[in-house]
Structure 1
């Protein structure tokens, strides 16, 4: 769902933002810095809508390009979003997910959010050559194909696509809506052991944008993961896309002894 259209009459840019034209700090940066602080401390909560650029420029006694540059810097940081027909709004903080052998559903629940899923595909289909290679199973006849739209507190966050060898699990749509994939695998007795994972980025297609409520061409994070059980069998291959404005990966790095 889109961010709610919320009005916060108590926050006034002309009163809250103080600019110093004599400072070596550029005016756009002064505006951006103070808007950032207002978002961080809650004076501008998620969903709050800013005045348009002309009104903001007038209240701050600066040029419209100065305001536009300040807003764009916060859009680039994922703190503001421009929505067609709505204007510029504050967005929620990004979901920061640690990289570990867990499902997004479980991680979101652990972060205190309200995870949800819309099941887009849940079917068994013939396994083509490419799918057999991805699952490292040359003799595989059929595969379970899953596609889900993952949400947090009702807001779209990620598109989750998965192939599993047929017969590993046989979930119905309700189970996929209420549980993470790894939880379902473990409940079925699958002993997850390790995974190989790659992370990348791409731009949103029109289909991505419609499902994720982003603009076409918006930045998306991508992840491909191959998961193995303790016998070395591939039990799942996933390719997922995440809204870069709402999502980040956390990595822990270790200094190995020389």
Structure 2
């Protein structure tokens, strides 16, 4: 049972055997929030893995020395974030971790792989099309010039995370569908000897259309993060323009802000 201000060990639910909870009743921070943050941290750091069971609310409240409404509120906050799910006859189960990506020039595939998230890719479009005015401006070419467009559904742990749409000058490299489904686009670019030097990027948000929601396993109108990026090589040449959609329930950008001297 949890003691005020002291680490408490849950010893009966297998997934919680690895956790030490520190719940401080004298703190102005609500107990449900303390519990939710500690459970979220355990999920983010892999201490609680997808599929792990936490037990039901009654057992958790007894084992942690908390009221049932407090435990229910903590769990519901993580259910709302998409980190936990309640299953009838099973209890509360970890679904997945949220992807937290540093805002730097890297690919989603490499970031997922580095975090041990097991990236998977399905290519839904790989063809040559005339560049629209937007794409032509981003890639520094004349409107109507042929470009290669790639559309991919990127996921992890069997769950979709993002819809990625990329435009590249034709003939830049071999963009076979099989290879695109086994590795990341930036890794493929680097394999040709290209040095990716910098990028211009904007991040925004909007709601999902019915089609986007179906592909991302979300409800229509769910929040999506948007990203537009133009990447340049070390000669200053634009080599890729991307317009991407990410599930806000599964994905976040991490920023580091520096004060100018």
Name the TM-score, length of structure 1 as normaliser: 0.73
Cα separation, 2, equivalents of 1:195 and 1:61: 50
Cα separation, 1, equivalents of 2:251 and 2:72: 24
The aligned counterpart of 1:250 is 254
Q: Paired residue for 2:188, among 178, 181, 184?
A: 184
Matched, 1:169 2:140: no
Spell out the pairing of 1:181-220 with structure 2 (5 A cutoff). 181-220=185-224
CA contact (8 A) 1:169 1:188 kept: yes
Matched, 1:159 2:156: no
Cα separation, 2, equivalents of 1:88 and 1:211: 26
Q: Which structure's relative contact order is higher, taking Cα pairs within 8 Å and 6+ residues apart?
A: 1
The aligned counterpart of 2:136 is 132
The aligned counterpart of 1:227 is 231
User: Cα deviations across residues 220-258 of structure 1 (Å, max 9, x unaligned)?
Assistant: 21111011122322111001111222221122222322x
Cα separation, 2, equivalents of 1:49 and 1:167: 50
CA contact (8 A) 2:13 2:53 kept: no
Name the TM-score, length of structure 2 as normaliser: 0.72
The aligned counterpart of 1:115 is 119
Aligned Cα root-mean-square deviation (Å): 3.7
Residue 178 (structure 1) shift? 1.3
Spell out the pairing of 1:92-103 with structure 2 (5 A cutoff). 92-103=96-107
Residue 150 (structure 1) shift? 0.8
CA contact (8 A) 1:32 1:71 kept: no
Spell out the pairing of 1:58-69 with structure 2 (5 A cutoff). none
